[in-house]
Amino acid sequence: MTKNKGPNYLNLEEDLNTYIKEDEIKDARVFRDLVKEEVIKEKKLISKVATPRTEDEPEEPLRRETPMIVGSLFDRVAFLKERIAEISRMMELRKEMHSRMAQEIEADVKEKEDIEKRMTDMTDKRNFKMDISALRKEGRTETVRFWKDMLELKSELQELLEQYRTETKIVDIFKGIDIGDGSNVPIK
């Protein structure tokens, strides 16, 4: 029985080496090099698009100008009392604002983390992690701003309380003093 010397289609590369010798055909080596170059050129590149870094705004403390207290001694005490109440309300408002902002930022972080857990594309996951990082940074920045504002308000409140104590002591001294015409200093 004679063997069929035809190509074996299960192993084409072996058949090419068997039936086509590189030294028989000059262009065989060139052809293989071209095929390798084409395969290399077709590699899929994964592009990553990063979220651009945001520039931080320079932190400026809360700047409040305390108005000069003018008028009579009794007017100044009433004015100081109003200013102390106003500063206290401002501090409470700032605390509420900080609390709301912190809750909103934390809710956004949790939402993005939940979405990120379900993602399969690494590029999208990376972008979501960068967004989460930016939100956390915003939360830290808000906390720093909050404490700077509170420090400024507490300093002003402390200053007003000292002035109020001084003015009330002076008012207490003048309450019972007879001014010479038979009348006493009016008490408000």
CB 186 within 8 A of CB 171: no
User: What's the pLDDT at 60?
Assistant: 64
Instruction: Give me the residues of the chain with pLDDT under 50, please.
Output: 8-9, 15, 41-45, 188
Question: 136: which residues sit within 8 A by CB, 6+ positions away?
Answer: 105, 109
User: What's the pLDDT at 76?
Assistant: 86
Mean pLDDT of the chain: 75
User: What's the pLDDT at 173?
Assistant: 84
Q: Give CA angle at 75 (167, 165), nearest 5°.
A: 20
User: What's the pLDDT at 43?
Assistant: 47
User: What's the pLDDT at 130?
Assistant: 92
For helices 122-175 and 73-118, angle between their N-to-C axes, nearest 10 degrees: 170
User: What's the pLDDT at 131?
Assistant: 92
User: What's the pLDDT at 99?
Assistant: 95
Which two tokens mark 143? 């906390």
User: What's the pLDDT at 155?
Assistant: 94
Look up tokens 């700077």; give the residue: 148
Q: Give CA angle at 137 (94, 131), nearest 5°.
A: 120
Question: 2: which residues sit within 8 A by CB, 6+ positions away?
Answer: none
